[in-house]
């Protein structure tokens, strides 16, 4: 057993002895803690008084004999206090038993004063100390009753000594001292009782306020968490809408672009059918000449070339769009060549780029074999291109140049740089452009989710980083660095992953 255990042993022993006299209901779980603390304090003080009485009985019995009237009075007093504890244990009536015990105790105090020189008894300071201690238990009315009873005992003893002939020479001074002490004890006990009552009331109010504050805080936290969940759901929905919007814009552009070669192919086929019908009619009439047939063959060759060229062009556009659209929709992982795939994405975006009056320069070397999510790459390139078209050229300025470049880096990393020669991004906005819903074109077609979606894809989906800076030609420069082999599919990004604390600027 350690040193701390030895020091705690008396407190544990006192607690066990105290709990022996607790009524049965108080020892059950869930009982009022405040009432239990008051009951334990009362029992401990009563045990202390009982111990003191037993010590005095022992001392008096040794000096005067066990059958001396004072010794017997101490014995009766000890039995009375012990019986008080037993009755409290059996009935749980602290208040009634305490009043009965005090009344009987006052009678025994009167007897003890009678046998020990009355007002001049050496026991008077002891009784005053016990009076000050026990007066702390109970309400103001009980305190007044107890002190009035003790005052009656003192006054009776004083009158008995005055008229009994056994009068100490300083009895009046002692009596005045006792009255003053009793008055001070009454005032101090009433004052302390009032202070305790106010303190308990203040503590109760503070406890109730704390409980109410905690309840309100829990309600506010629940409301905040619900709002946060709703905001995340709304943000996820808006990001999905942004992806679908860019895909829809690509669909419209490709549809417009495919319309021209398909129309030419249809026109060529229609003309070929007309020419063939004319030749068949001439052959049926026997009027087909060699020169006419040779001319027909020349026209057929030209129309076949036209149909093949335009059909091939339409097939390329459709195939390019199909791969990009499927990748963005399914987000499946597969190997792909970076140059070829970026070229396909730019081909699918060509109608939008030409409509805005710009051109694209691509400097991506062959041989960068990626193992990852082509749909993520398509979304990144699409968002960069659309962001430049919408934001980089004010007043719909035409003739801009968009540049896409890539290179292999050490550690099996890839760097992809996208730049334009537009008006650029002010330096004070570099740290904010990846925030959700931040846009400089609010109400003019800007949702504020394009670059935020790009940032999430690069940092979370592709396991890379994004840097923003100024291009040498004066526009904006976005530098993406990511592993050639993308990490495994991560969980949904958390709030910490959606922060921009580790976005680098240059």
Sheet with 465-470, side-by-side order of all strands? 359-363, 401-409, 413-420, 476-483, 465-470, 504-505
Q: Token match 């003309």: residue?
A: 271
Look over the chain and give the mean of its residue pLDDT values, rounded to a whole number: 76
When pLDDT is cut at 50, 70 and 90, the band that residue 404 belongs to is very high
When pLDDT is cut at 50, 70 and 90, the band that residue 486 belongs to is confident
21 vs 402, residue with greater confidence: 402
Are 485 and 412 in contact by the 8 Å Cβ rule? The answer is: yes
When pLDDT is cut at 50, 70 and 90, the band that residue 369 belongs to is very high
Are 324 and 378 in contact by the 8 Å Cβ rule? The answer is: yes
446 pLDDT more than 70: no
The residue-averaged pLDDT of 463-471 equals 89
Distance between CA atoms of residues 464 and 377, nearest Å: 12
**Both tokens assigned to 443:** 């109400």
Residue 505 pLDDT: 37
When pLDDT is cut at 50, 70 and 90, the band that residue 339 belongs to is very high
Residue 316 pLDDT: 63
Residues 6+ away with beta carbon under 8 Å from 94: 39, 42, 88
**Both tokens assigned to 311:** 């059909």
Are 45 and 134 in contact by the 8 Å Cβ rule? The answer is: yes
Distance between CA atoms of residues 491 and 506, nearest Å: 30
Residue 155 pLDDT: 85
Q: What angle do CA 304, 256, 347 make, to 5 degrees?
A: 85
296 vs 254, residue with greater confidence: 296
**Both tokens assigned to 392:** 């980089």
DSSP H or E run through 317: helix 290-330
Residue 492 pLDDT: 42
**Which pLDDT tens digit goes with each residue over 87-111?**
877 887 776 777 777 777 777 777 8
Query: Helices (DSSP H) in 65-170: which residue ranges?
Result: 69-91, 94-115, 124-134, 140-164
| Exposed / middle / buried, residue 379 (Cβ in 10 Å: 0-12, 13-18, 19+) | buried
What is the 8-class DSSP label of residue 158?
Answer: H
373 pLDDT more than 90: no
Sign of CA dihedral 54, 58, 64, 65: positive
When pLDDT is cut at 50, 70 and 90, the band that residue 149 belongs to is confident
Q: What angle do CA 87, 89, 93 make, to 5 degrees?
A: 65
pTM, whole model, 2 decimals?
0.42
SS3 string, 195-229, reads HHHHHHHHHHHHHHHHHHHHHHHHHHHHHHHHHHH
The residue-averaged pLDDT of 256-268 equals 70
Looking at the chain, the whole-number percentage of residues with pLDDT higher than 90 is 8
Residue 355 pLDDT: 83
Kindly report which listed range (2-6, 181-185, 417-421) carries the lowest average pLDDT score: 2-6
Question: Which residues make beta-bridge pairs with 334?
Answer: 372
Domain limits, the chain: 12-168, 333-505
When pLDDT is cut at 50, 70 and 90, the band that residue 50 belongs to is confident
479 pLDDT more than 90: yes
When pLDDT is cut at 50, 70 and 90, the band that residue 448 belongs to is low
| Nearest by Cα to 26 from 15, 40, 36, 37 | 36
Looking at the chain, the whole-number percentage of residues with pLDDT higher than 70 is 78
Distance between CA atoms of residues 289 and 282, nearest Å: 9
Assign domain 333-505 to its CATH architecture.
2-Layer Sandwich (3.30)
240 vs 293, residue with greater confidence: 293
Instruction: Give the number of other CB atoms < 10 A from CB of residue 246.
Output: 21
Most confident of 15-29, 195-209, 291-305: 195-209
69 pLDDT more than 70: yes
| Nearest by Cα to 478 from 458, 497, 460, 495 | 458
The residue-averaged pLDDT of 31-41 equals 75
Q: Token match 């255990």: residue?
A: 5
406 pLDDT more than 90: yes
Residue 477 pLDDT: 92
Please report, in angstroms and rounded to a whole number, the separation of the first and last CA atoms in the chain.
65
Query: Helices (DSSP H) in 388-492: which residue ranges?
Result: 450-456
Pairing of strands 359-363, 401-409: parallel
């Amino acid at each position: 057993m350690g040193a701390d255990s030895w020091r705690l042993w008396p407190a544990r022993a006192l607690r066990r002895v105290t709990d022996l006299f607790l009524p049965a209901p108080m020892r059950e779980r869930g009982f009022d803690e405040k009432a239990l603390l008051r009951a334990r304090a009362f029992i401990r003080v009563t045990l202390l008084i009982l111990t003191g009485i037993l010590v005095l009985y022992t001392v008096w019995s040794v000096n005067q004999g066990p059958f001396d009237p004072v010794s017997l009075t101490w014995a009766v007093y000890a039995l009375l206090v012990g019986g008080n504890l037993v009755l409290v244990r059996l009935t749980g009536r602290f208040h009634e038993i305490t009043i009965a015990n005090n009344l009987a105790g006052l009678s025994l105090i009167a007897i003890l004063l009678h046998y020990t020189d009355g007002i001049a008894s050496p026991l008077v300071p002891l009784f005053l100390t016990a009076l000050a201690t026990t007066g702390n238990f109970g309400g103001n009315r009980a305190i007044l009753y107890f002190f009035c009873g003790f005052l009656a005992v003192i006054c009776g003893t004083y009158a008995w000594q005055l008229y009994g002939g056994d009068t100490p020479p300083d009895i009046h001074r002692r009596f005045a001292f006792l009255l003053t002490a009793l008055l001070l004890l009454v005032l101090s006990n009433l004052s302390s009782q009032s202070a305790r009552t106010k303190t308990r009331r203040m503590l109760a109010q503070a406890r109730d306020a704390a409980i109410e504050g905690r309840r309100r805080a829990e309600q506010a936290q629940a409301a905040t968490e619900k709002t946060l969940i709703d905001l995340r759901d709304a943000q996820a929905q808006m990001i999905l809408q942004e992806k679908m919007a860019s895909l829809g814009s690509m669909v419209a552009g490709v549809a417009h672009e495919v319309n021209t070669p398909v129309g030419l192919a249809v026109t060529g086929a229609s003309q070929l059918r007309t020419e063939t019908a004319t030749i068949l009619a001439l052959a049926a009439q026997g009027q087909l000449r060699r020169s006419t047939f040779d001319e027909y063959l020349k026209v057929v060759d030209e129309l076949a070339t036209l149909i093949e060229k335009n059909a091939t062009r339409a097939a390329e556009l459709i195939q390019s769009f199909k791969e990009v659209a499927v990748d963005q929709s399914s987000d499946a992982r597969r190997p792909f060549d970076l140059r070829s795939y970026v070229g396909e994405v730019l081909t699918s975006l060509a109608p939008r780029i030409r409509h805005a009056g710009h051109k694209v320069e691509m400097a991506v070397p062959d041989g960068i074999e990626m193992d990852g999510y082509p749909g993520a790459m398509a979304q990144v390139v699409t968002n960069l291109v659309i962001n430049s078209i919408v934001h980089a050229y004010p007043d719909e300025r035409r003739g801009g140049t968009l540049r896409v470049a890539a290179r292999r880096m050490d550690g099996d990393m890839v760097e992809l740089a996208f730049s334009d020669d537009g008006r650029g991004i002010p330096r004070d906005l570099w740290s904010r452009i990846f925030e959700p819903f931040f846009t400089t074109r609010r109400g003019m077609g800007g949702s504020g989710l394009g670059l935020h979606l790009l940032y999430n894809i690069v940092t979370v989906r592709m396991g890379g980083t994004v840097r923003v800076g100024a291009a040498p030609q004066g526009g904006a420069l976005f530098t993406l660095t990511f592993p050639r082999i993308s990490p495994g599919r991560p969980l949904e990004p958390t709030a910490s992953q959606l922060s921009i604390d580790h976005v680098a600027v240059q």
